Amino acid sequence: MTMRAHDLDGGVPVPQQERLQTLNEISRVLASMLDLRTLYDTIYEQIGRVMDASQFFIALHQSGQPTFDVPYLREDGKLGLDDTAPYGDNVTSLVIAQGSALIYGTAEEYEEYERGHGLSEGLVGEQTSESGIFVPLNTGSRTIGALTVQTMRRHAYTEEDMGMLSVIASQAAVAIENARLYAESQEAVRRTQAILHVARTISGSLDLATVLDSILTGMRDVLPFYLAAVLLPDHAGEYLEIAGRIGPPDGRGHETIKISIGEGVTGRVFQTGEPMVVPDVRSSTDYVSDGSGHVRSELAVPLRRGENVVGVLNIERQEVNGFSQDDLNLLSLFASQAAIAIENARLFRELRNRVSDLQTIQSVVQQLTPVHEIPAIASVINLELKTLIDYHSWRLFIVDPDGQALVPISIHGPLSDRRLTVGEGVTGWIAQYGQSVLIDNLLHDPRSAHIAGTPSRPESMIGAPLLYEGSVRGAITLSKLGVRQFDQNSLRLLEIVAAQMAIAFDRAHLYQELRAEAITDPLTSLYNRRYLSERYVEERSRALRNQHTLAAMMVDIDKFKHVNDTYGHDAGDLVLQDLARIIRTTVRAEDIVARYGGEEFCILLPEIPPDDAVQLGSRLRDVIEQHDMPNAAGVQRITVSVGIALLRPGDDTMEVFARADQAMYRVKRAGGNRVCLDNGGDVSMVG
């Protein structure tokens, strides 16, 4: 017999109102989940409330991949996790590819559907079924997978069941995508924190053993491996020796192995200076076996210090094709940090008798670690460098983004603060060639350029490039009156400091980039909801403290679904981007504009009277209504609904946004293209 939803025990069909209430309840439950495993359990449990889900699985697919993932499978209550299946000529793949649902009442109908579409049998799990429903997981912009319920009973589902499951699936798809994005962001944060932690750890130590251990143990946190090793050349430069290693013990004294330069994977990487990936070591004549027989793939990257290769960082895994391009990029980042740290450790060993100097360097490193602003980094160096080297003038430049000019960051002493071209003067020469200099007398050096208006007198100089990942990021020079005022030890100390500055500058750039990515919506380049929440806390506190007004304005595109449905999501994206630009150029400079979600934007308006807020909303509405969209957007013009609310003294969290949102929906219900103000409970509509 055919059974309807909520009729699994033979009862009467569930009224439409109750079905809607159930869907709303399921939607609220799914929207609150960010943990994927908990979300999958919840999806299964909620679907089980409304229909037979004795067989149930979720399939997810990434475009271009030959397989789809089955992260969650239930068969008669038994749970299966994290399986895969071929993507292609099977029903699950077809539902994902076409984005359309399928219902069948008997196994014969299912087999006939497979034959009619030229599909092969693609069984997920261990049991066959008599009837079932397949629905796509649509996020609104794309299909990320499919969801199915099946049972051994014939004709167990109805068209109403399929419709209800489709609605649940669309909600589940958004929830899964949000949970995956959350998991990815958490993983990105974890990796970034691990990388910064390793950078701080190795930058904070000049002992070679500690540096190597920190590199290898820190790398394992973000790049799992079977075994890993750092190989450094011997004193004669003929062999590579294992200076540090992490992996399962093999009892073979593996650390004593010597690899000739140019031989084996690591020997070739050291010789060529290029990374090397071995997908399957069994088919490679270059692989030097560890004797265990467990390794299947290998990745080795050079440890570069400027143009010189100082060692090799090597990791191995037990799987064939165990390394991706992301793994190579990440290991290269580790290698760049490791190379600088290893060289610094060697310099430390050479200068071990200069204890006081090294303690000062350590202090500089520790002070630089928490600093994320380039001027602050320069200030720390300027204060501490005097305790290491005696000089009367210093200049610090960084290379501009075009790589053609040197921009002064800090000038101390009677020197010009103008920009230099790369190659100009001693500083320009350092930046051009990436080499340090020790000049006994600038008057006799052809690279020096005399500054007009200053006396010509003997002066000594040392300078070093700020090198990071093989490229020059800047240059630092120190000067002192007199001939031969600096020695090789002074130059080496400056090189150590310059290396730490290069790391600190790069870390500062990385921090700023990560910060910008974390607070910016990638489509519109406006602030995102997270940053808006952070700024709201600040502005609310300031408004209450100074008794200023604070308003929130919600702007939502009227009938935006029609744009997407008619002209496509690319056109919809153009509308959102153009609207973001209009809002940003129309509101005040001090206003905070963010994409709140979908086609909804939020503007935080500090210190604005209610009438001015309404005028601004009306002006924005007029500008948008009269603006011609780009041709590629399909639609020529759009209108928006605007809701405004003012902060109340009793607002603890985000109540003002909720009231602005409610005001905006009042406009929606009134037909859109208006402005509604909620001012302390008094609601007025304009337009």
Q: In what order do the strands lie in the sheet with 592-597?
A: 592-597, 600-606, 550-557, 640-646, 675-679, 682-686
What is the rounded average pLDDT of the residues 532-559?
Answer: 92
User: What whole-number distance in Å separates Cα of residue 485 and Cα of residue 492?
Assistant: 14
Looking at residue 4, its pLDDT comes to: 33
CATH architecture of 355-514: 2-Layer Sandwich (3.30)
Looking at residue 12, its pLDDT comes to: 41
| Global pTM value | 0.38
Please write the tens of the pLDDT for every residue from 269-294. Answer: 999 999 999 999 888 887 877 666 78
Considering the chain, what is the average pLDDT of its residues? 83
* β-strands 102-104, 131-138 pairing: antiparallel
Please write the tens of the pLDDT for every residue from 123-140. Answer: 787 788 899 999 999 887
pLDDT at residue 16 greater than cutoff 80 = no
**Which residues on adjacent β-strands are paired with residue 643?**
554, 676
Q: What percent of the chain has pLDDT over 90?
A: 32
Q: What is the CATH number that goes with domain 529-686?
A: 3.30.70.270
pLDDT at residue 32 greater than cutoff 60 = yes
| Side chain identity at residue 313, one-letter code | L
> What confidence tier does 2 reach under pLDDT thresholds 50, 70, 90?
very low
pLDDT at residue 620 greater than cutoff 80 = yes
User: What whole-number distance in Å separates Cα of residue 557 and Cα of residue 576?
Assistant: 9
What is the rounded average pLDDT of the residues 397-414?
Answer: 78
Looking at residue 207, its pLDDT comes to: 76
Listed ranges 64-78, 181-195, 414-428; the one with the highest mean pLDDT: 64-78
User: What whole-number distance in Å separates Cα of residue 271 and Cα of residue 451?
Assistant: 44
74-88, 504-518, 595-609: least confidently modelled range = 504-518
User: What whole-number distance in Å separates Cα of residue 586 and Cα of residue 626?
Assistant: 13
What is the rounded average pLDDT of the residues 386-393?
Answer: 84
pLDDT at residue 556 greater than cutoff 90 = yes
Q: What is the DSSP string of 401-413?
A: TTSSEEEEEEEES
Could you confirm whether domain 16-183 is CATH 3.30.450.40? Answer: yes
Please write the tens of the pLDDT for every residue from 626-664. Answer: 999 998 888 999 999 999 999 998 887 889 999 999 999
Structure tokens at 74: 């239930």
> What confidence tier does 253 reach under pLDDT thresholds 50, 70, 90?
very low
> What superfamily does domain 206-350 belong to in CATH?
GAF domain (3.30.450.40)
220-224, 413-417, 468-472: least confidently modelled range = 413-417
Looking at residue 578, its pLDDT comes to: 93
Contacts of 428-435 with C-beta under 8 Å, sequence gap 24+, read 428/475, 430/463, 430/464, 430/465, 430/472, 430/475, 430/477, 431/397, 431/399, 431/406, 431/465, 431/472, 431/474, 431/475, 432/472, 434/306, 434/307, 434/465, 434/467, 434/471, 434/472, 435/465
User: What whole-number distance in Å separates Cα of residue 151 and Cα of residue 127?
Assistant: 10
Q: What percent of the chain has pLDDT over 70?
A: 87
User: What whole-number distance in Å separates Cα of residue 591 and Cα of residue 30?
Assistant: 34
Who's near 330: CB < 8 A, 6+ residues apart? 191, 222, 223
Looking at residue 311, its pLDDT comes to: 92
35-44, 204-213, 420-429: least confidently modelled range = 204-213
What is the rounded average pLDDT of the residues 535-549?
Answer: 91
What is the rounded average pLDDT of the residues 523-543?
Answer: 91
Within the chain, all domains assigned CATH 3.30.70.270 are found at 529-686
Classify 233 as helix, strand or coil.
strand
pLDDT at residue 1 greater than cutoff 50 = no
31-35, 98-102, 137-141: least confidently modelled range = 31-35
| Pick from 631, 638, 660: nearest CA to 648 | 660
User: What whole-number distance in Å separates Cα of residue 667 and Cα of residue 677?
Assistant: 10
What is the rounded average pLDDT of the residues 330-345?
Answer: 80
Please write the tens of the pLDDT for every residue from 369-387. Answer: 777 777 777 777 777 788 7
Classify 159 as helix, strand or coil.
helix
Please write the tens of the pLDDT for every residue from 295-324. Answer: 989 999 999 888 889 899 999 998 888 888
Within the chain, all domains assigned CATH 3.30.450.40 are found at 16-183, 206-350, 355-514
CA distances for 626 relative to 386, 557, 563, 573, 629, angstroms: 63, 14, 17, 19, 9
**Which residues on adjacent β-strands are paired with residue 593?**
603
